[in-house]
Amino acid sequence: MSGHASTYEPKYAAGRWLDKRLPIVRMGADFMTYPSPRNLNYWYTFGGILTLCLVAQIITGVILAMHYVPHIDYAFESVQRIRRDVPFGWLLQPMHAVGASMFFFAVYIHMFRGLYYGSYKAPREMIWILGCMIYLVMMATAFLGYTLPWGQMSFWGATVITGFFGAVPVVGESLQQWLLGGFSVNNATLNRFFALHYLLPFVIAAFVGLHVWALHHAGQNNPVGIEPKTKKDTLSFHPYYTVKDGFAVVLFLLIFAFFIFYQPDALGHSDNYIQADPLKTPTHIVPEWYFLPFYAILRAVPDKLMGILLMLGAIAVLFVLPWLDTSRVRSMRFRPVARMFFFIFIFACFILGLCGAKSPDDMAFTVGERVVNGESRLIGLNFVWLSRIGTFLYFSYFLILPILGLIEKPTERPDSITKSVLGDKHPKPAVSG
Amino acid sequence: MQNEQVEEGRRDFIYLATGAVAAAGVASVTWPLVAQMGKAADTRAAGSIEIDLAGIAEGSQLKMLWRGKPVFVRHRTPEEIAEAENADVSRYPDPQTDTERLVPTPSGEVNPKYLVMIGVCTHFGCVPVGEQGDYGGWYCPCHGSHYDTSGRIRKGPAPTNLAIPPYEYISDTVIRVG
């Protein structure tokens, strides 16, 4: 996987024997000694955190599958049974459910970090695209998993999302019924969603393998966005970054543990404690928090098909980002104008998240009241219009980047990574390079 | 030399033929893998239901599950019927008169008292709530679609009117859906 010269030397005969036949220990050793830029900050620890998330989700998921029953008559109760009766089920089920939220929390920081430091730019386009693929499969996996507890939000979330496929012209209805295995969300749907929810994490794991491979092939980006030029610009991955990642993991686990032990349901929805009822829609359907911005974009458009296309476009545009950003400077540290738009983009994501959580006709804020035909009406901005503004800001980032790269004057960049860390003073002679 | 050229032509043909057979084989194995996800025979066969209209009081609505979807049978009040019939539908997103949305009884006339619809919002499949929204008909709480007293879309993101299931009157007061 690693492109750098191998320094592994087997100490024992058995090691040498294996190294000639299957150099797997060498692969691990090269991985651990991979030269990483010396200036990586804590935003760069989320790759390691995400690996932990994936492993934790797979382990807890396999365990939950041993107790879960994917049948519409038993699914809801089997999840409640896990939480109440199965030994340590009270711990393992929230680990998995909260774990999904923590996974998305980490992936969003990881993606924003990539956006800020220009990690998607040449020669790292494949790392970015593979990351987008992982994000896409993660969203599918999370959606499928949310259906399994068979609560009201599970059922109606599944109904709404599979309804997207019904909007496809001509073949929509057949496509939707093919996905559902029936005329509506039913037992066949739950069964296949369970099977796919079990499968997709391994697809993610495969993509992660490619993601890391591409990362080690092209080399890591860093906060100043300049390539390492000398050996002084890099540090061995172990122990420097294993320890740094480890410390970040501990902080991350503190937040994780807080939710598991004190607020296991805070990130979910109380309606999911009501068993699925195909005759009754909850008064206010909301997806999980990590889908809210996209849900807001979907609802910002009055037309069904256009809404879906715009929502898909919000994800699809990420894939072509490396070719939209025309600037040669990677890091936003040296791009004062682009940096401003980056923060507006983040702001838009939060605004859209807020809009997705609220009822579209409610008022975001009001400036007064007026009486029309004897009825008093509030004057102000409702959430539909706020989400339209948010959608505009979201997409405008991707429209401004191509122009900005051509006209923006970046600030002066340091000569090397080492100089950006130590200034002009000479570092002490390194003991071993 | 000439002999070799002949050999090459034969070889190309064999490559192509082998490839074609392999592609056909893969396709024929893939089809069952894809088709298995469609509706199973028992799901398709989930038959019809009979509904006795006499038991529904005026101004109330019966909800029943048919093929996993709710069917609404509303016994409309005279005001609701008047509203549905007198509407100027030409400017509606999905123009349909009230009569077009009803099925004749055995006498050949339509009975505007009973409106039978699939209670699934044509936007993303939520179940609309009755006697709500700006037009006194149905309101979908998911994304804010408003339907009138004939189940026609008036406002909001839904593209079409609430669907009418296939049904027939088997007597003056009993219908069979499906």
The full set of domains in chain A, from first to last, is 32-278 (1.20.810.10), 288-319+336-409 (no CATH)
Task: Choose among A219, A233, A225: nearest CA to A118.
Answer: A225
CA distance A282 to chain B (A): 8
pLDDT recorded at residue B15:
94
Q: Does the distance separating the beta carbons of A159 and B157 come in below 8 Å? A: no
Residues A37 and A235: their CA atoms lie apart, in Å, by 6
Q: In what order do the strands lie in the sheet with B114-118?
A: B61-66, B69-75, B114-118
Residues of B in contact with A177 (CB under 8 A): 38-39
Please tell me whether residue B146 adopts helix, strand or coil conformation.
Answer: strand
More confident residue, A389 or B172: A389
The one-character DSSP state at A226 is: -
- Domain borders along chain B are 1-38, 43-177
Q: What letter represents residue A200's amino acid? A: L
ipTM of the complex: 0.76
Helices A89-116 & A46-65 angle (0-180, nearest 10): 150
The one-character DSSP state at A237 is: I
Candidates B40, B67, B140; nearest CB to A188: B40
Paired with B129 in beta bridges are B139
Q: What is the CA radius of gyration of chain A?
A: 25
Q: Does the distance separating the beta carbons of A181 and B126 come in below 8 Å? A: no
What does the pLDDT look like over B70-129, one tens digit per residue? 999 999 999 999 988 888 888 898 999 988 899 988 888 888 899 999 999 988 788 999
The one-character DSSP state at A360 is: T
Are the C-beta atoms of residues A294 and A142 closer than 8 Å to each other? no
Residue A37: which H helix or E strand, with range? strand A35-37
Helices A46-65 & A242-262 angle (0-180, nearest 10): 40
Residue in B closest to A304 by C-alpha: B157
Cα dihedral B134, B138, B139, B141 in deg (nearest 10): 160
Q: Does the distance separating the beta carbons of A166 and B157 come in below 8 Å? A: no
pLDDT recorded at residue A351:
97
Are the C-beta atoms of residues A99 and A60 closer than 8 Å to each other? yes
What confidence tier does B2 reach under pLDDT thresholds 50, 70, 90? low
pLDDT recorded at residue A348:
97
Q: Does the distance separating the beta carbons of A304 and B126 come in below 8 Å? A: no
Query: Is residue A123 reached through a cis peptide bond, with omega within 30 degrees of 0 on the bond before it?
Result: yes
Q: Does the distance separating the beta carbons of B69 and A181 come in below 8 Å? A: no
Residues 302-331 of A with CB under 8 A from B: 302-304, 307
Candidates B127, B144, B157; nearest CB to A280: B127
Residues of A in contact with B37 (CB under 8 A): 178-179, 181, 192
The segments of chain A whose pLDDT lies below 70 read 1-3, 424-433
Candidates A182, A279, A285; nearest CB to B142: A285
Q: Does the distance separating the beta carbons of A279 and B65 come in below 8 Å? A: yes
Candidates B38, B125, B140; nearest CB to A181: B38
Q: What letter represents residue A65's amino acid? A: A
Q: Does the distance separating the beta carbons of A185 and B68 come in below 8 Å? A: yes
- Mean pLDDT computed over B159-165: 92
pLDDT recorded at residue A433:
41
Task: Choose among B66, B77, B174, B173: nearest CA to B117.
Answer: B66
CATH class of B43-177: mainly beta
What confidence tier does B3 reach under pLDDT thresholds 50, 70, 90? low
Residues 174-203 of A with CB under 8 A from B: 177-179, 181-186, 188, 192
pLDDT recorded at residue A303:
81
Residue B11 forms contact with A (CB below 8 Å): no
Residue in A closest to B160 by C-alpha: A304
